[in-house]
Amino acid sequence: MTLAVQFNQAEKNELSLVGGKGYNLIRLYNEKLNVPNGFVVTTNAYFDFLKHNKITETVQKKLKGLDVENTKKLDKVSSEIRGILLKAEFPDILIKEIGNGIKKHGSKKFAVRSSSTAEDLAKASFAGQQDTYLNVERGKIAENVKKCFASLFTSRAIYYREKNKFPHDVGIAVVVQEMVDADFSGVMFTVDPIHKKFLLIEIASGLGEKIVSGSITPNNYFLERNTFEIYEKHEEEKVNEEMVRKIADLGLKIEKHYKKPQDIEFAVKDGKIFILQSRPITTL
């Protein structure tokens, strides 16, 4: 049973095993795009964790018949389930496999990111429903993997699944990826959700989670998709526009690979562009 899989193990690239985020990252990594290297703690590991602690039935009982419109009850059930998962112990074999996965990477810090099997899909993105942890030290990866497992049952994740008619027994994998100490980072929509004809890039200095969380106002650029001419821009800080065009060019290459518009997270370090995530745009 595969509990952890490295990005370069292309033959293990099954969505049911590595989740939506892991599936897309492995695919892009093996297309030789500049994706920071890493590995995925698989859905097998998650289900084995539940089985090892005999909590599968307990979780399902708590969710059965839950009225997700009752916010107080939803939050209570969510908190109870996550508490159960966070107190549960990892099987020794999983701790060993995570340790073996880490040994293949020289980075001191990692991004630990949830990758549900019902995530980054063409019809439902589940964007932001599960948790991500940045700048995680090597010795703390296992505990953050467990936090990601538990985040499958945040109130917003339970609600979103219920409203989109996804079962609650979906699997979750966890991406463990070498951390990029970004000079700039951001989000790119290869077809913008506003005018629906430009390529939109939102970028700011530092880590991109600040943009995703809405805690800062990024620069944004609307670019012509054919020429990369900037049609409209709003700047909070000075950013090299040639770098913006290079990001746009890479975005269209990824769109061509997937044959559909993409929502892409990226980072820039010393002028080098890294792809951190790509998923279909579901709102067009």
H-run or E-run covering 79? helix 71-87
Q: Tally the domains of the chain.
A: 2
Query: Over pLDDT 90: what percentage of the chain?
Result: 72
CATH of the domain at 31: 3.30.1490.20
127 and 207 both lie in a single domain: no
pLDDT recorded at residue 215 = 72
**Helix, strand, coil tally for the chain in percent (to 5):** 40, 25, 35
Are 101 and 39 spatial neighbours (Cβ–Cβ below 8 Å)? yes
Tokens describing residue 93: 């074999």
Residues 6+ apart with CB under 8 A from 11: none
266 and 168 both lie in a single domain: no
Separation between Cα atoms, residue 51 and residue 54, nearest integer Å: 5
174 and 188 both lie in a single domain: no
Separation between Cα atoms, residue 265 and residue 36, nearest integer Å: 12
137 and 219 both lie in a single domain: no
114 and 205 both lie in a single domain: no
Query: Over pLDDT 70: what percentage of the chain?
Result: 91
pLDDT tens digits along 50-103: 999 999 999 999 998 899 999 999 999 999 999 999 999 999 999 999 999 999
Determine the structural domain holding residue 76 and report its residue range: 4-178
- Final residue before a domain boundary, out of 162, 178, 194: 178
Buried-state track 242-256, b at ≥16 Cβ within 10 A, e below 16? ebbbebbebbbebbe
Are 274 and 267 spatial neighbours (Cβ–Cβ below 8 Å)? yes
pLDDT tens digits along 226-283: 999 999 999 999 999 999 999 999 999 999 999 999 999 999 999 999 999 898 887 7
pTM reported for the whole predicted model = 0.87
31 and 131 both lie in a single domain: yes
CATH of the domain at 206: 3.30.470.20
- Final residue before a domain boundary, out of 151, 178, 205: 178
